[in-house]
Structures are given as structure tokens and as C-alpha cells.
Amino acid sequence: MTTTSMTALARHAMAAALLVSASYAGAQTVAITGGRVFPVSGPVIENGTVIIRDGKIVAVGAGLAVPDGARTINATGKWVTPGLINSSSQLGLSEIGSVPSTGDASATGQDQVAAAFTVWEGLNPQSVLFAPARDEGITTVVVVPRGGLIWGQAAVITLVDGSLTDMVTRAPVAMVAQVGNPGQGGSGSRGEQLLRLRELFTDVRFFRDNRRAFDRAETRGLAASRKDLEALIPVIEG
């Protein structure tokens, strides 16, 4: 058997049961039975059972009783693993890379700063790319913006079949920035980027402490828009 075919078999064996947590995460009970279960910690469980209730794993083990009324998934001959997490992706934000009209991952911002940009609001819950990701065993994704120096705010989504509200589990989860790759996206050299960040954070502190004066136009000009300055206050406060 070739390496490619072995990889494909392993991938599908793992993915078969992983899909349950993404596709049946509604208000119901699901029992995955008969599979080779790989828990987060501890030894592999042969002929194991995983109980999922209302989208959350509530029991894992061998010989567990299937709750009355549960939807049963026969995983005999398959691997059952925790869902994989993609910690940095534009999944659901861009359908076709060569077609700009299908992309919602970046914001213009002001002078390379788009801190107020909430990228998940442009997420396409009907993206055709979610099903292939689930086939690979991915059930959770951190969707991140891109572009400039301060890219914007990221969110955690689960690859359930449903609305945007169903998918987004935590937002915002992080403020995303890029320091490096000199010259890319017009953000300048590394030294210039660091200088810009220091100036920006100084101005965020000034804005936080002098907001009324800023609103009355009684302060000097600051390094970002009001919305971006407000969005960065939690960053400087930790």
C-alpha cells in the first residue's frame, strides 16, 4: 500500500467519528460506540464509547451504557479522537483566493491599524470549505484577520451546521498583529514596526486617560482612530 493511500485511510478513519461533534452539536445526546478511542490523556480505549450531550463530551470509556433516546453512531473499525483545532485560519472568510470578492479577512484600517475590525462578522456560515475541514478532523478554528500592522480581532468558531451565532463560541479571543516580514503589506521594516507599536500603545494610554479632552478636540493628534484606540485598551490593560 502506498504512503498516500495509507494516509488517506487513516484520515478517514479518524474523521468519521470526529464529525459527530461538529454536525450533531445541537440539543441532543449522541453515543459513539465500538471505536478505538484516543482520549486527551490516558491510554487508548478499545471498543470504547463516547457520550456527547448538548454538544459536549460527558463520558468516555469502555462498557458505558448508551442513554435512552440517544442517537447511536457505530464507529467499529474506526478511530475516535478529540477534534483537532486550527489555531490560525481564514476558513470561512475566503472562498477562492484568486477572487477578491469572496474574501472578508482583511480591513483597510487607518495607517496599517485595524484594531476595531471584528473579523467574524464577515464569516460565511455556508462556506463550502467547512465540510472538507471536518473531513480532516478539524472541529474548532481560530479565525484571524490579516493585513497591515494591527490586523484586528480574532474569534473561536466550531464547525457546526448552523447560523453564525451557532458557530461563534468566543469573540473576541485575541487581538492580532504582525511584526516581521519587512516591507510586506506596506508595514515597513521590523524596527519601524516596533517604533509604530510603541507610539500606538503610548497613544492608547493617553486616550484612555484623556478621553473627554480627546472628544472635545483639546488633545494632540493620536496614532489611530477613536474606534481603534478603544479596541486596544484591553490590550494595554492585559
Cβ neighbour number for residue 105 with a 10 Å cutoff: 21
- Closest alpha carbon to 89 in 119, 111, 60, 69: 119
Residue 98: its pLDDT value, please? 58
pLDDT at 112 over 70: yes
Supply the angle between the helices 226-236 and 190-209 in degrees, to the nearest 10.
Answer: 90
Residue 8: its pLDDT value, please? 41
193-237 confidence digits (pLDDT tens)? 999 999 999 999 999 999 999 999 999 999 999 999 999 999 999
Cβ neighbour number for residue 79 with a 10 Å cutoff: 20
Residue 103: its pLDDT value, please? 73
CATH class of 3-82: mainly beta
The three-point CA angle 123-125-127 to 5° equals: 90
Residue 10: its pLDDT value, please? 42
58-100 confidence digits (pLDDT tens)? 999 999 999 999 999 999 999 999 999 999 999 999 887 656 6
Residue 74: its pLDDT value, please? 97
The ranges assigned to domains in the chain are: 3-82, 86-236
Evaluate whether 3-82 and 86-236 have a shared fold.
no
Residue 14: its pLDDT value, please? 46
pLDDT at 188 over 90: no
Residue 17: its pLDDT value, please? 46
Q: Which amino acid is at 196?
A: R
Residue 40: its pLDDT value, please? 87
135-168 confidence digits (pLDDT tens)? 999 999 999 998 889 999 999 999 999 999 999 9
Residue 235: its pLDDT value, please? 96
Residues 6+ apart with CB under 8 A from 213: 219
Q: Which amino acid is at 9?
A: L
Enter the C-alpha cell of residue 225. 482612530
Homologous superfamily of domain range 86-236: Metal-dependent hydrolases (3.20.20.140)
Residue 236: its pLDDT value, please? 95
